[in-house]
Amino acid sequence: MDALIVRGGNRLSGRVEVSGAKNAALPLMAATLLTPGVHTLRNMPLLSDTRTMARVLETLGGRVAFHGHTCVIDTGGVSSCEAPYDLVRTMRASVYVLGPLLARLGDARVSLPGGCAWGPRPINLHLEGLNAMNANLEIEHGYIVGRGVRLKGADFHFGTVSVGATAQLMMAAVRAEGVTTLDNVAIEPDITALAEVLVQCGAEIEGIGSRRLIIRGVKELWPMDTAVIPDRIEAGTFLAAGAITGGTLVVENCEPAHLGATLHVLERAGCEVEPGERAVTVRGPARPKPLNVVTEPFPGFPTDMQAQVMALCTVAGGTSTITDSIYLDRFSHVPELMRLGADVHMQNNVAIVKGVDRLSGAPVMATDIRASAGLVLAALVADGETKISRIYHLDRGYEQIERKLVAVGADVLRVSQRGV
């Protein structure tokens, strides 16, 4: 199992390129199941999660090949309807195949999902929405099971905004009989991108980018040929890295329109931020200003940037508050930041962060994708050496992050270790 060794103190400077968005790539990969044929996805991030989804598709009978950052998926031979526990347990997004399988085959047997080790994130909205569309799903021996399903259009209101459930029901609805109306849907860029690609494939979707989607089911779609949008969370992470080190970074191959809330927070922290056409330049302050941040669904500040901004606040000149209104217990990084000398106190889903003059390197352990990134950022400014273990979490969401950081001046080394 690999670890990262980070020696802090270097000011980052240079250009770094953002990869394709994991959270956009995974539903697109699942959506290839909706129709037989050869699908091409360019700007594909090379991550453990995209490889896991590839294995899921292969288990179902698909053929997947990676040619650099282009992924070619042949779904002509898909005949199995079972996504097994051994794969789905490692990544929650594997459950995305449920709706497409029901839409195409009428049958599905998909293991209940696993993934990041924080909080119970139920998939009840996925199941309720599909059942409203006549799926009649049952839970049997840890699997979600649908048999002889003929999906029909329905009206469904999301009690809470859910990115995953919005993607799931959208994919199912494009092949269902009749009209489906989805209210209070997520409008994250990943959802908009999925809808636009489905339309390119022949789907009929109205209201893209709004909180209400009207979807008229079609009998067939044609294969997709598209590029995965840039990863706004990776972009935000590198911008925060420039900010926390007081450096100057140009983050390229990103979409500034997707980064509005993150850029606003960085400006409030004292950064100079210059959005360009496909890039953002950040100049970090001598010391960050304290922040009051609340996570919200898009276009609000993303929960996936919460840990990175908390790292920034640990060395701010004052006291910050960070409230996660999306996931109330997504704070597994707090004890690890405290091992580095951070002063953080929790009050329910609110972190009170008193900035310290300096952090000091120590052994820490990654617990999820974004918590890992937060620890890397803190380590970049900590005195001495920080060893971050269990970085397989990091590899699920960041493509070769250590190489990208080294290229802009960080002292980061990936090492192999046993028994951790």
Q: Closest Cα partner for 125 from 100, 95, 153, 91?
A: 95
Q: Closest Cα partner for 207 from 191, 230, 231?
A: 191
Pairing relation of β-strands 385-389 and 363-365? parallel
Yes or no: say if 250 and 242 are a contact pair by the CB < 8 Å rule.
no
Yes or no: say if 39 and 32 are a contact pair by the CB < 8 Å rule.
yes
317 vs 405: CA distance, rounded Å: 25
Burial (Cβ within 10 Å: 0-12, 13-18, ≥19) of residue 91: buried
In the Cβ-directed half-sphere of 179, how many Cα atoms lie within 13 Å? 5
Find the catalytic residue in 116, 201, 271, 313. 116
| 390 φψ region: left (φ > 0), alpha (ψ -120 to 50), beta (else) | left
Has 116 been annotated as catalytic?
yes
114 vs 85: CA distance, rounded Å: 9
Catalytic residues: 116
